[in-house]
Structure 1
Amino acid sequence: MNYDHGGSHDSDACNMQMLFNWDTEKLCIIFTWWRVNSIGFLILSCFIIILLATSFEFLRFALRKYDTKIQVSYSQLQEGRDANSEEVATQSNANRITYVQQLVRTLIHTSQVFLSFFLMLVFMTYNGFLMISVIIGAAIGYFVFSSSLIDFGGKSITCH
């Protein structure tokens, strides 16, 4: 399906597919400059997409680890307090995370959201090679980064 909207009839133009396909030429991945015109570049692009999807799982892992680190530090702080001391009055303020901690959490989360939408757009090329690459990357990332953590209240799949 070629939806020509009266633009240039350049032979290097990208094909916008609206149906599942296995195209290996004239395939643009999100940007016009990320154009696949050979099998070699398709393989390289698939590898990059696998790394991006793996990175998404790493970001999920990093945020869980960072949250755990914050929780451990606050629980150690609580254990060190004397229940009869004057610090009890300020306990609610002491349990709040710092500005820097929230900034780090926000940056990780925002990166995760951006990468999630980016991978969704890759998936929406409807190209089988790219779709499989996203799935392989997610599987590798999940296998590598979730093996040490079990999160019973974790987030579900986002946009990939």
Structure 2
Amino acid sequence: MDHGGHGGMPMPAKCSMNMLWNYQITDTCVVFRSWHISGAFTFVLSFLIILLLGITYEWLRKLQRALDIQTAQRITRASSPSIPMEADNENGTSPLIGVAPKLYPVPEGARIRRAVLYGLSTFLSFFLMLVFMTYNAYLIAAVVLGASIGHYIYGEQIEAEAILAGSGDSAKPISCC
């Protein structure tokens, strides 16, 4: 009995599952069996897609920060327009430092937008973690390079006072947990 032949039918390419650091290009599947790297072209395409996903994650973080700033400005303007936001010239401190933070209710529309952006960024961070778990050095490099490029592009401003006060998160990395 001959078990070697399959009647001339081509065998589907197999996804290799590596649990160790590797440099394999062909037969690597990225997250899904259908995302199969079968050669140089699909490898380059996959690398670029993963790079763009890393950049997109940083864009989402910037969008979240911008929405939070916009929401905070609207809330504080509507509830207490008389609070001076500039530093006190005598001692260089802000009039709000040392004061317990006041919590404001977030309007429903802003809460929905914040929740959607949070969900998208959480999904994307877990997705990039799964790419990392291929243990493929090239794909890991694409994630790190994409995050770095995105941080460079979208990290042009920092909240210096918040960072010095210990409450800034401008350097928060991609995280899954």
Scaled to the shorter chain, the TM-score interval is 0.7 to 0.9
In the alignment, which residue of structure 2 is the partner of 1:140?
Answer: 149
- Mapped to 2, the partners of 1:80 and 1:18 lie a distance apart of 59
Q: Name the amino acid aligned to 2:22.
A: N
The 5 A counterparts of 1:1-160 are: 10=11, 12-77=13-78, 78-79=80-81, 95-150=104-159, 152=163, 153-154=168-169, 156-157=172-173, 158-159=175-176
- Mapped to 1, the partners of 2:129 and 2:49 lie a distance apart of 15
Q: Name the amino acid aligned to 2:35.
A: W
Shift of 1:96: 1.4
Q: What percent of counterpart residues are identical?
A: 30
- Mapped to 2, the partners of 1:63 and 1:117 lie a distance apart of 17
- Mapped to 2, the partners of 1:62 and 1:135 lie a distance apart of 20
TM-score, with length taken from structure 1: 0.80
Unaligned 5+ segments in structure 2 are: 1-10, 84-101
- Mapped to 2, the partners of 1:137 and 1:39 lie a distance apart of 20
- Mapped to 2, the partners of 1:25 and 1:104 lie a distance apart of 40
3-state SS of the aligned residue for 1:23?
coil
Shift of 1:24: 1.1
Unaligned 5+ segments in structure 1 are: 1-9, 82-91
Shift of 1:80: 6.6
3-state SS of the aligned residue for 1:138?
helix
Deviations 1:44-99 (A, max 9, x none): 10000000011111111110010000111122222179xxxxxxxxxx99x31111
Higher helix proportion, which one? 1
Q: For the pair shown, which has the larger CA radius of gyration, 1 or 2? A: 2
Q: Name the amino acid aligned to 2:127.
A: F
TM-score, with length taken from structure 2: 0.73
Could you list the runs of 4 or more consecutive aligned residues of structure 1 that deviate by over 3 angstroms after TM superposition?
none
Shift of 1:149: 3.3
Shift of 1:11: 5.4
